[in-house]
Structure 1
Amino acid sequence: MGTVTLGVSIAVPEPYGSLLQERRAGFGDPAAHGIPTHVTLLPPTEADESVLPEVEEHLTRVAAAGRAFPMRLSGTGTFRPLSPVVFVKVVEGAAACTELQQRVRDDSGPLVRELQWPYHPHVTVAHGIAEEAMDRAYEELAGYEAAWNCTSFALYEQGADGVWRKLREYAFGGGPVPGVPPQSAPVDEPAATHH
């Protein structure tokens, strides 16, 4: 078994996701097309491939205990000079994201890790590119607005090509993820009895 690089995040839905990805590419960020537009819950984390089933069970539990919440993005911010990042700000839903990422990294689960910086939910739109391009991203997206109801998060794996691919999506409250057919359960057995 090898190691895998995993990440957990909330995808920014369409049409916002593609638009921000295109803008990020337009600022000259080479990573733009390899990273779906997202709010990070767990930064890139190396794990042994053998723990994947445990990770999936853990995330299923985290999602089942969660509830949908409103998310709103507005305006831009930056982590410069500490870190070469320009982002769109999460102005609603930040507390829910913070709580969620703590549960994802919970000491009792398989994804325990320290963070390099204090957690700050955001949507990266430029990372590690020329200062002028970072300034442009900061200015051009200053009036950016988006809002949606966050109903799920997802587990991603980074390929050898640097591209992040979704492994599985987790709906809050243990419900089926929109667009995914629900798995059949025995009718006479209430689902809530499974722990």
Structure 2
Amino acid sequence: MGTVTLGVSIAVPEPYGSLLQERRAGFGDPAAHGIPTHVTLLPPTEVDAGALPVIEAHLADVARAVRPFPMRLSGTGTFRPFSPVVFVQVVEGAAACTWLQKRVRDASGPLVRELQFSYHPHVTVAHGIAEEAMDRAYEELSAYEAAWTCASFALYEQGADGVWRKLNTYAFGGGIAAVPAQGAPVDEPATTI
């Protein structure tokens, strides 16, 4: 069956998701329209395509063990000089994101992997672009604020075209996901588990 590249993330809901995606594109980031605005729980991970049913069951189990929690974004940060990234900071909900990403990558599950860097929840707004554009992103979004109740996360697959497409949304506590789909052309209707 081959392999697929998967990622797990918390979608940034509307109107915030599209606004940050458009800002990212405006800073000249060519990946902006192929990556829905998100907080990563599992970075791009190559897996055997045949493992997808086991992965989906694992993610449903993880989501059932979580209750909705407040998320708040505020201001900017950067990973430079270690990594060419400017991001919007997660100032509330970071501990819950950290707990979730550990459960997603749990040693007893199908998505075990080491991270290249220590986990730091954030929303990328510029990656691998000219330094001047990175500086602009850092400055222009320094007063950015957004808040919502996080009630789900999603599984995405990266296509051969580099675009990330949603496969499923996993509602916390086994409920219905409350976060509306981001209005980007790459976001396809999702089923709720």
Q: Same fold (TM over 0.5)?
A: yes
Question: Which secondary structure does the structure 1 equivalent of 2:5 belong to?
Answer: strand
Q: Who is 1:76 aligned against?
A: 76
| Gap runs ≥5 in structure 1 | 184-195
Instruction: Please give the per-residue CA displacement for 1:29-67, whole angstroms capped at 9, x wherever unaligned.
Output: 000000000000000000000000000000000000011
1:133-144 map, 5 Å: 133-144=133-144
1:60 equivalent in structure 2:
60
Percent of aligned pairs sharing the same letter: 82
Kindly provide the amino acid, as one letter, of the partner of residue 133 in structure 2.
A
- Residues 170 and 192, structure 2, Cα contact 8 Å, conserved in 1: no
Are 1:31 and 2:31 matched, yes or no? yes
Matches within 5 A, 1:132-171: 132-171=132-171
CA distance in structure 1 between the aligned counterparts of 2:162 and 2:67, rounded to whole angstroms: 32
What is the match of residue 131 of structure 2? 131
1:16 equivalent to 2:8? Answer: no
- Give the whole-Å Cα distance in 2 for the aligned partners of 1:56 and 1:111: 10
TM normalised by structure 1 equals: 0.92
Partner residue in 2 for 1:190: none
Which aligned segments of 4 or more residues in structure 1 are displaced greater than 6 angstroms? Answer: 179-183
Q: Could you list the runs of 5+ residues in structure 2 that have no partner in the other structure? A: 181-189
Q: CA deviation at 1:181?
A: 8.5
Between the aligned partners of 2:192 and 2:117, the Cα distance in structure 1 is 38
- Corresponding residue of 2:187: none
Amino acid at match of 2:84: P
- Amino acid in the other structure paired with 2:108: S
Q: CA deviation at 1:177?
A: 2.6
Secondary structure of 1:74's counterpart equals strand
Structure showing greater Rg: 1
Alpha-carbon distance between aligned partners in 1 of 2:51 and 2:81, rounded to the nearest angstrom: 36
| Alpha carbons of structure 1 residues 13 and 109: separation in structure 2 relative to 1, 3 Å | same
State whether residues 168 and 192 of structure 2, in contact with CA within 8 Å, keep that contact through their aligned partners in structure 1.
no
